Every structure is written in C-alpha cells, then in structure tokens.
Amino acid sequence: MKQEFLKACRREETDYTPVWLMRQAGRYMPEYMAIRSKHSFLEMCKTPELAAEVTLQPVDIVGVDAAILFADILLPLEGMGISLEFAKDEGPVIHNPVRSKQDVDKIRILEAEEGTPYVMEAIRILRRELVNKVPLIGFSGAPFTLASYIIEGGGSKTYLNCKRMMYEAPGVWHSLMEKVSEVIIRYLKAQIAAGAQAVQVFDSWVGCLAPDDYREFVLPHSRRVMEGLQGTGVPIIHFANNASTLLPVVREAGGDVIGLDWRTDLDAAWARLGYDVAVQGNLEPLALFAPPAVIEKKVKRILSQAAKRPGHIFNLGHGIHKDTPVENVRVLVEAVHKYSRMPLEELRED
C-alpha cells in the first residue's frame, strides 16, 4: 500500500507529495455518471457495493494517493430523527428544521452502526479492495456545518436562523451543538473501527462567522470532537472552508492536519498555524479548467510554498467542480508527483 499520504499526515518525510481531491469520487467522472443514471444519490450512499465502487474509481482512473469514502455529510441526520430529502436540482431539504428547545430535546443519539450501518459496510468492503493500493479516508461534517443544515432546513446564504439562535437563545444553540458533536464522535469512531485509516471533518459553512462568534459558539464543540477522537490512532484532518480569517482558532480547535482553502497563500497560512501541524491544500478548484501548462505552473507554485517541509498533502481548496475535465485531473496528479520530487531550487526557477 502507498504510505505517502499517511506519512504526510504524521509530518514524516515522503518520497513525493501525496495528492487527493475533495469530491474526487463524483460527477466529473463518466464512470460515476453511468452509475448515477440508474440510481438516486441516496441509493448510491446506502448501497455499500455501489458506494465502494464509486470510491474506487478515482484511485484507478486518475491515480490519487488516498481514497475518500463516497457518502454525504448529512447521512447521520436521519438517525437523529431529522427528515432529510435530496430534492432534484435543489440539494438537501430538511422537512423538520430545529428551531426551539423542544425541537432539540427530540433529537436522538444513536450508535452509528445502528443509524448508518451501510456506511460501515462500505468501509469494510473498501478496506478489502484497497489492501494493496492506497489508504482510505472517512469523513463527517463538523458541528457547525451539520447544525446549520438542521436549523436552516437546507443550504443558506445568510445563516440567519443559525445566528438568531446563537444570539437570542445561546443555551438552545449549545444544547444542539452538544448533541450534534456526540453524534459526530460516535459516527467517526465507528468509521475508524470499520477500517478508515484517516478521517476528515468538513466545516464547509463556518466561514460565515466572525472570529469572536467562532470562539464562543463553535470552538468548544469542534474541540470536543477532536479530543473525542484522540487515542483512535488515525490522523484527523480539520477543513474549514472560506475561513482564512479563522485559521488561528481553527488550529486551536484541533486536528493533525489543517485543510486550507484557496483564498490564502499556503506558505503564509502554514506560518500562521505553526509548523508543528500538517497542512492540506490548496489549489483553486476552477484552475483545473486551465490549459495543462497553467495547471503545472500553479502546482509548482504551491509546492514551492510548501518548501519541502514534511507534512504537506496536496489538494484543492474545496471540492472539485462537476464539469472538470478528467484529463486535467490526471495532469494535476502527475504534476504533483513529478514536481514534488524536484529540488526546491528548480521549483522556484519560474
């Protein structure tokens, strides 16, 4: 099995920089769409054999250094008593959003093997399939991101209902976040027990917050999740999207690897975080629509910013766009593998 990804998570020396992509198992691949044409999104998530097949596709087709489980961050919500639907062309819709103490009191906390057994079975299948290939990453949404869906009833541009609960009913907010955090801890521990060799916590929407609000309303709960996973023996990747202004408090919350979006320079961000933590990122996803020579130039720039310090995992600054040309993804992966083997002086010649 390739070890570069896990070594980089541990800030150990690697022969080259490992690369994987958020949403790498997805709609940009014709092989994925062939399966999707026959099944709904939730059917794919809840059928372990299909989830495993889709997870393996980018490993075999574009040569990434880690597989990430095909699933969705909202899958644990059904076990909590949240009515979830993936509406056509509308994304996730929650039919019973949580807006009061009474709503929070109704939320159930189940063991993950009971609430999402199909996720664990997919992981067990994948570990058998990946035994001589690459490591497997499990994942979950972070407390704020899951709570924002639960409160808003779906996606949001303003997060008005979330912020109103924070400011008007902080006790209710913290009670909800405590329940969500407990579900996440159990969910990720179950993934690890099933065979996940690393896990990523996605805080996709936390960039909407001011730093002081993050510190008061999010930090204690994200830290609880990170601390709850200590002792599992697997690396924890903490990715907060659109959160360049929050990096110091994201680091304070914890994680062995801090994911970076593309809105910050990798070298400046790593210096702010400290070199005692690994980093992941951070190519702008739409750069994959550029000509190959431009993609390679951007790869070299990010690698030069990493300066060959141990602990860099190459990734996009968020999920891959659904219209991305597969050939350009291959160009990216090959460029990372090629140029990360070069001396730093040659990387900086451009």
Q: Which residues have a catalytic role annotated? A: 23, 27, 36, 72, 149
The span from the CA of 78 to the CA of 321, in Å, is 27
Separation of alpha carbons 230 and 191, rounded Å: 14
| Structure token pair of residue 62 | 């574009």
Amino acid symbol at 19: V
> Can you state the angle between helices 117-129 and 48-62, rounded to 10 degrees?
40
Q: Are 62 and 329 in contact (CB under 8 A)?
A: yes
Q: How many Cβ atoms sit within 10 Å of the Cβ of residue 48?
A: 18
Please say whether the beta carbons of 4 and 52 come within 8 A.
no
Token digits of residue 271: 């210096």
In eight-state DSSP terms, residue 39 is S
The tokens of 330 are what?
Answer: 């291959």
The H-assigned helical ranges of 160-263 are 160-168, 170-194, 211-217, 219-228, 247-253
What is the residue type of 65? D
85 forms bridges with which residues in the sheet?
93
Distance CA 51, CA 22 (A): 16
What is the spatial distance between Cα 205 and Cα 273, in angstroms, rounded to a whole number? Answer: 20
| Rounded distance between C-alpha atoms, residue 263 and residue 316, angstroms | 11
